[in-house]
Amino acid sequence: MRRWLTGLAALAVVAAVALAVATWRALPPLPTTLVSAARLSAPLHFVAADGTPLNRSYRGRFNRVDALPAWRIPALLRTAFVASEDQRYWQHGGVDWRARFAALWGNLRAGQVQRGASTIGEQVARILQPRPHTYWSHWIAGIEAGRLLHHFGHAQVLDFYLNQVPYGARRRGVAPAAHYYFGRDPDALDPAEQLSLAVLVRSPSRYDPRRHPQALRQAVDQLAGRMRASGAIDATQAEAIRRAPIQPGQQALAVEAGPFVLHAAERARALGLTGPVLKTTLDPDLQRFVQQVLGQRVRTLATRGVRNAAALVVDNATGAVLAWVVAPQDGPFAIDAVLAPRQPGSTLKPFVYGLAMARLGWQPDTVIEDTPLAENVREGLHRYRNYSGRYYGKVSLRYALANSLNIPAVKTAQAVGVPAILDLLHRLGFGTFDQTADFYGPAIVLGDGGVRLFDLVQGYASLARHGRYLPLHVLADTPQPDPVPVLPAPVTSLLASILSDPNARSAEFGADSVLDLPMPTAVKTGTSSDYRDIWTMGFDDRYTVGVWMGRLDGGSTDGLTGSSGPAPVLRQIFAHLRTAAPYAGLWHSPALQPVHTCEWIGPPPCVQRDDWHLGDVHAPVSAPSTTTRRVAIARPLPGEMLAIDPRLPAATQRYRFSLDTAGQAIKRVAWQLDRKPLATTTEAATSWQIVPGPHTLSARVWLDDGNPGHALELGPVAFSVLGQAPPHEGSPE
């Protein structure tokens, strides 16, 4: 018997030592201070331009900006929390064994878990180190609670708890909860409301004053009764609490601007600003309005696949951000769509055409060929097309930009050069183009690259600011740099004229388009491939507005475009802006010269109209200009790869060589394939039965220009045909 007891005692000692070692290893090191444990920084309070408080982001494990000092936490609120959560808090050392055994006995009698016995110290331990709810985690939390109370003292642990205790709607701490439920600071709450905060932590959903006021009322009265019985309050106070109505209030932090505040906090840290109150540029009334219309539009288009949206409104003169809205703002993986790089679609086209006018001297009536265009890209041969699928032939720059035609835009990008485009975008503050010009190619003008809404609005505001770049800012009363000229002012005036011309855009957008605002406004849309991103950008002389819609999960919308998705939101925003301030119009550069021109908008004849030119007045144009293009081999493209179809007879597999005549009359063409004569034609094309292997095509061209002795030498253009020659008809195979 003695041997058995000795063995049992030894086993108990070994088990105790093992438990002690395992416990010691599981305990995290004590923080230097509880403030550093929660990684709290000095509170930065942000207000709108008129002083309206702005809400914070409540994502994350800790209350980072609304932690109250001890002297601002009402004594009754402290007492109520102790009475509700841990009646013997000031007597025990971290674990209330009496309450724990009482809870265990009650649960055993009931046959189910009806009550717990976690002390405030144990709850603080779980706030600092979240763990699964297991017997082992409860053991560790109890040991850790004792260490915390011993090291920091009961008062400091209670203060930390009151600032970090979790409520509903991601609120942590009594200050955010007081604002969320009652619209006031904790020290402005009456006794019944203070007891409500103590009750709500038990079950924020069950006792929500907006949804379950009776349940909250009953729980508050019960707590008041216990506090009276313990002597924490007297009978008069208890009766006053029972008689006081508990009415949920409106949140004092009524402006939904979480993403904006996060960006403002980043800028404040970068500038070394410490507060405690920082004034921002946000217009709270405008922010609320944009939040309302954008949120409603997202809900309306939810059946069409729209899940996310963002809008940005800025003041052109100062670069101040007036509204920064993301919809929706909730969700565990919520992303600030204002700062998320997305495919820009056609929204970069104005900058490319502006370069062509500034560097190449192009005018609104400069003619660009809208004809089929293909180009070798990394994935193979890419054929460009317009959104409508139509080709308009000869079109003016005004017509091409206003209708957002793709092929003229690509040809313009080829003319100005991708390096020049990237240089302009970088000088306008676009920070996402970090690859080489060869990586993007001319397709950059169609949205081949990620762009942030923030950068797009910054760029369009530079156009509205007469071509001068100024970084957007969100903090008021901070030094701002002087605007830097990037594009000539007359060029931006012409761009604004084109983008506000309802007649010029009617071919692709129709008459009475949603883009035709009541007052002249420069508007540009964009739609990315597969309808993932849809944009509308707009500006007048005072404001620039950008709206994006789409899906941040990578999905596509149901065929929505910039004009059918975000454009109505942009219209509503400008209408609202113009009720608050007189219409500022669109600036017209005095350097522009009036001209009477013949504008090409498709098949002949051209259309007579009045327009504006850069620099000297040109004579009226009666025929399209071809000075920017030369006669060239159009097909095949350099490096083009063709393929033989083995299922078809060889005689039926032919390829059509063709020239781009640049609008000039052709008298004769001598074609050479692989340096050998192929054919002589009077047309700018010939047909060839394809043969496997690498090939080169050259052509000698005589123009019908009265100079019969002069011929143009074109090529050679290298291309290849893949596969094996199929059997001829009649072959025994």
Looking up residue 475, the CATH number of its domain turns out to be 3.40.710.10
Would you state the pLDDT for residue 728?
A: 45
Would you state the pLDDT for residue 575?
A: 93
CA distance 699 to 669: 7
730 located within any domain: no
Residue 17 burial (10 A CB sphere; 0-12, 13-18, 19+): exposed
Which range of residues forms the domain containing residue 328?
282-344+451-588
340 located within any domain: yes
Q: Are residues 641 and 704 in the same domain?
A: yes
Q: Are residues 567 and 639 in the same domain?
A: no
3-state secondary structure at position 164: helix
597 located within any domain: yes
Q: Are residues 226 and 338 in the same domain?
A: no
The CA-based diameter of the chain, rounded to the nearest angstrom, is 129
Would you state the pLDDT for residue 618?
A: 39
The angle subtended at Cα 472 by Cα 293 and Cα 263, nearest 5°, is 70
CA distance 544 to 541: 8
Looking up residue 672, the CATH number of its domain turns out to be 2.60.40.10
Q: Are residues 651 and 696 in the same domain?
A: yes
Q: Are residues 555 and 613 in the same domain?
A: no
Domain finish residue from 571, 604, 627? 627
State the 10-residue block means of pLDDT for the chain, 733 residues long.
61 51 52 56 74 70 76 92 86 66 54 58 76 60 70 85 87 90 91 95 92 95 95 93 89 72 90 84 95 93 91 97 88 74 96 95 92 68 78 92 95 93 95 90 91 97 97 94 95 96 89 85 92 95 96 86 89 91 84 87 81 63 40 77 74 84 84 92 90 90 76 84 60 30
Would you state the pLDDT for residue 12?
A: 55
Q: Are residues 507 and 582 in the same domain?
A: yes
Q: Are residues 513 and 375 in the same domain?
A: no
Q: Are residues 464 and 382 in the same domain?
A: no
731 located within any domain: no
Phi, psi at residue 26, to the nearest 5°?
-80, -20
Which tokens in the block code for residue 354?
């502006």
Q: Are residues 163 and 204 in the same domain?
A: yes
Would you state the pLDDT for residue 106?
A: 52
Q: Are residues 378 and 429 in the same domain?
A: yes
Domain finish residue from 576, 600, 627? 627
Domain total of the chain: 5
Residues with Cβ within 8 Å of 423's Cβ and at least 6 positions away in sequence, in order, are none
Looking up residue 100, the CATH number of its domain turns out to be 1.10.3810.10
CA distance 331 to 551: 14
Would you state the pLDDT for residue 464?
A: 97
Three state DSSP letters for 16-54? HHHHHHHHHHHCCCCCCCHHHHCCCCCCCEEECCCCCEE
Would you state the pLDDT for residue 42?
A: 46
**Residue 223: how many CB atoms within 10 A of its CB?**
21
3-state secondary structure at position 538: strand
The angle subtended at Cα 277 by Cα 273 and Cα 280, nearest 5°, is 80
Domain finish residue from 562, 588, 614? 588
Residues of 289-318 as b/e, b for ≥16 C-beta within 10 angstroms?
A: bbbebbbebbeebeeebbbbbbbbbbbbeb
Q: Are residues 445 and 465 in the same domain?
A: no
Q: Are residues 167 and 184 in the same domain?
A: yes
CA distance 672 to 661: 18
35 located within any domain: no
